[in-house]
Structure 1
Amino acid sequence: MVSRFSVITFGCWLNKADSDIMISRLKALGWEYVEDIDLADVIIVNTCAVREEAERNELKLLGKLGKEYPNKKVVVAGCLTRVRPATIKDVVPNAILVASHGVELIDRVVNGDLDMYVFDDRPMTYLPTYYPELHGHRYVVPIQVGCLGNCSFCVTKIGRMGFGRVRSYGKDDIIRAVRDAVSRGAREIYLTGQEISAYGRDRGYDLVDLLEELLRSVDGRYMVRLGMMEPLELSKIIDRLIDVVKGDWRVYRFFHIPVQSGSDRVLMLMRRKYSVELFRDIVRKIRTTIPDATIATDIIVGFPGETDEDFWASVKLIEELGIDKVNLARYSRRPFTEAAYMEQVPEQVKKERSKIATEVFSRVAFERNRLFIGRELWGIVSEIDFKGENYVVRSYNYKPIAVRKAYIGAFVKVRITDATPQRLFGGLLEGEELGVKYRVDFRLSEGLDLVS
């Protein structure tokens, strides 16, 4: 009898990639993947520990699974298993825990007879297999794990046991996996990791080397999205990376660079390894060379010790640089972190600062998006929006554009008619919803144009 399994994923794109590795490993052994947990013999929950709210949601779900499916095997993987193992066991006594980097060895877990597995190292051997019926047109591939930082607020360094050390997948393995995915229909390639700007530090090459070789070796019509890049490591490769991004239409003009605070004093308390000025220099380089590039960042408000002056420094930095998208988070106290034992900012103050920052950051994003009204942008039809009302086109600079009718995975050209802080709105140019093939003509001063 073939065993059936289902996977529920919380957290970041790296967690998504880890879930895909687990799916690939079990399918290769003859297991059947099912989305409906009612049909599954084994339910795998891949957890995240970054924020307290996520932890509450995960524990609530685990408790529900334990009560509703007492006869099913529940496997809990991901960061929360190392951070809250006893709590998970209290909620689901029969749960099987996979701590640290066990995702690549998931077959040992589901076929074993222990209730906790701790793997000290990650083999860096298995990459996700691309399954069109599961992944659609998007292939998420992890390129590295670990981080060279040791931030005072970060619980991921406990959950993944990767602080101070980076482990990278080999270039050849990544390129081989991407080539296979593209040949079978993948149109968006997400390169993800904990800190992809540090990719290859353990192998003698870097992210730019990987990107150049991938673009040279993998033919086809696809778009590459780069994951989060920490400012200090990014600064070492930014000039070469800009050259690659502006020189090949297949790389999204998108940079996710988390600054976390606009105050050097707070960055020091966070134990971040860069200054505000370094972040500012990186953004200015990108803006000067690729004016249409989308720049996203992360800001934490209410970090322990943050004063009003520190808070407003963050707000003013976003205004000054015209950041396209800010992932704003109120500081969340996490176990086993140094920041948890610092003097905390009152919750009400955090809420007030978050409200102010949300309003300002939305205005900045709206002003940035308004610049595209009336323009024609090309991109790829990426997904259906969360309401199910529109299709979302990701433009060449990763701007989300809502359109009424399209085909997922098609390259299209859109005339922008309106904008909000979150997205653009537009209409497909006549005939382009049919997925007609185009050649790409890159004109930096005019943006990117599709010509038949």
Structure 2
Amino acid sequence: MRIYVETYGCWLAKADAQILLQRLGGVVAESPRDADMVLVYTCAVREDGEVRQLRRLEQLSAEARRLVVAGCLAKARPYTIKRIAGGAELIYPEQVEGGRERTMHNLPEPDGGLIYTAPLQVGCLGNCTFCVTKYTRGGAGYVRSAPPDLVVERVRKAVARGAREIYLTGQDVVTYGFDARWRRGWNLPDLLERILSDVEGEYRIRIGMSEPWVFGKFVDAILDIVKRDERIYRYFHLPVQSGSDAVLRRMGRRYTADEYRGLISKIKRELNDDVFIATDIIVGFPGETEEDFGHTLRLMEELQFDKVHVARYSRRPFTEASVMPGQIPDAVKKERSKLASELALRIAHARNSRLVGRRLRVLVDEVDHGLVVGRAPDYRQVVVGRGGGPLGSFIEVEVGRAEPVYLWAKGV
């Protein structure tokens, strides 16, 4: 069966789409017109993304012989999807493996690609008031983790088939093994140690998004591993969401701004600031004042993030924040988003500029619009050439210039 696949959202969604494709026994089709089935794996995190996906589903319903809609939006908006695409079959996130519940006993089979995405867990220990994912996938203490033997076996097979980057992904990666009470072998540091000891080869591991308050419980063990083994990218995605304690409380986040400052400062100190810190910020959350927003800008200035995903707050179904008083006008959210994004780019440019003249060992992993791009030891993007490139190879370069997103190798 020829299956055309479109995926929206996070790396966990991409992994789930791959599991579904393999379970359905299909081969990838290049376009909807060439396909026996169209599979769309959806995301429900943002309202603007929902609008785009619904519009696309309406279009595909007129083209596809058979339309399957899976993922978070399928669970959050089933009646809306059925209204605009009446013949669509729906698969909820917990049904990805074919049963009624998610077991995490079915991981993607390596396909010989340069990147292998390993979904370690689903669920979250948090209960954020803005989050629809806790409804669509699970949260507030619900966690399901993949068996460590299965993860190691898949990673070993992926590396043997040519993978050079291993993305450990999930809703909240550092909660891996919580359902096994974080016993020996069933926690993120132990899993990292096991992969590094059992899987030989030249590859890099990227740790996915983690909640700061849980990450803090394992930070010492994780940093010890990162310092000892260059196969782990010096990259951490730790969403802060706001620099205001008042807003963090309304969001249901389980840390203060000072506690978050302490975590990031510790990471930078332990790694001599040779690290890439990515974060997420929501502007315009209900009740956010100009003073609250100012606290966020000051936190960005102080912690000097390498990348900031700035999002305007949008109401999501089934969330407490959607009915909170003090909803912020769109014009105000847009202005705050503009200011935060501009500041984020200025800081990123300054952070990258420190590396001009430095020699880096880069893993070449993509060709993007004619640019050959690789990843530095901290996952920073480095343009190493134009045209084609030796994908999967490691090369030494000297950084010649810097931009907010890219470093450029000297001579390119």
Smaller-chain TM-score bracket: over 0.9
Q: Output the TM-score relative to the length of structure 1.
A: 0.87
By how many angstroms is 1:46 displaced? 0.3
From 4, 7, 16, the counterpart of 1:6: 4
From 116, 134, 149, the counterpart of 2:126: 149
1:386-433 deviation per Cα after TM superposition (whole angstroms, max 9, x unaligned): xx121111101111011224311111111111111111111489xxxx
Matched, 1:61 2:59: no
By how many angstroms is 1:4 displaced? 1.7
Give the whole-Å Cα distance in 1 for the aligned partners of 2:377 and 2:309: 21
The residue that corresponds to 2:294 in the other structure is: 312
The answer for unaligned runs of 5 or more in structure 1 is: 106-118, 430-452
Q: Is the 8 A contact 1:392 1:403 kept in 2?
A: yes
From 108, 112, 115, the counterpart of 1:138: 115
1:163-210 deviation per Cα after TM superposition (whole angstroms, max 9, x unaligned): 421110011100000000001100000000000111111122310010
By how many angstroms is 1:335 displaced? 1.2
**Aligned letter for 1:125?**
H
Matched, 1:367 2:365: no
In structure 2, do the counterparts of structure 1 residues 120 and 277 end up closer, same or farther at CA, with 3 Å as the change threshold? farther
The answer for unaligned runs of 5 or more in structure 2 is: none
In structure 2, do the counterparts of structure 1 residues 162 and 121 end up closer, same or farther at CA, with 3 Å as the change threshold? farther
The residue that corresponds to 2:170 in the other structure is: 193
Identity among equivalent positions (%) equals: 48
Q: Is the 8 A contact 2:400 2:411 kept in 1?
A: no
The residue that corresponds to 1:79 in the other structure is: 72
Q: Is the 8 A contact 2:402 2:408 kept in 1?
A: yes
Give the whole-Å Cα distance in 2 for the aligned partners of 1:120 and 1:162: 17
Give the whole-Å Cα distance in 2 for the aligned partners of 1:279 and 1:145: 24
Give the whole-Å Cα distance in 1 for the aligned partners of 2:100 and 2:348: 43
Give the whole-Å Cα distance in 1 for the aligned partners of 2:230 and 2:176: 22
In structure 2, do the counterparts of structure 1 residues 269 and 161 end up closer, same or farther at CA, with 3 Å as the change threshold? same
**Count of aligned pairs between the two proteins:** 404
Q: Is the 8 A contact 1:413 1:428 kept in 2?
A: no
From 13, 16, 21, the counterpart of 1:15: 13
Give the whole-Å Cα distance in 2 for the aligned partners of 1:85 and 1:215: 42
Give the whole-Å Cα distance in 2 for the aligned partners of 1:255 and 1:162: 21
Counterparts of 1:38-437 in structure 2, within 5 Å, are 38-69=33-64, 72-105=65-98, 120-132=100-112, 136-203=113-180, 204=183, 205-290=186-271, 291-342=273-324, 343-385=326-368, 388-405=369-386, 406-427=389-410
Give the whole-Å Cα distance in 2 for the aligned partners of 1:217 and 1:6: 36
Q: Is the 8 A contact 1:100 1:161 kept in 2?
A: no
**Aligned letter for 2:206?**
R
By how many angstroms is 1:100 displaced? 3.3
Give the whole-Å Cα distance in 1 for the aligned partners of 2:332 and 2:393: 46
With 310-319 and 35-44 compared, the bigger mean Cα shift is at 35-44
Q: Secondary structure at the match of 1:236?
A: helix
By how many angstroms is 1:246 displaced? 1.2
Q: Is the 8 A contact 1:100 1:120 kept in 2?
A: no
RMSD value, Cα: 1.3
By how many angstroms is 1:120 displaced? 4.4
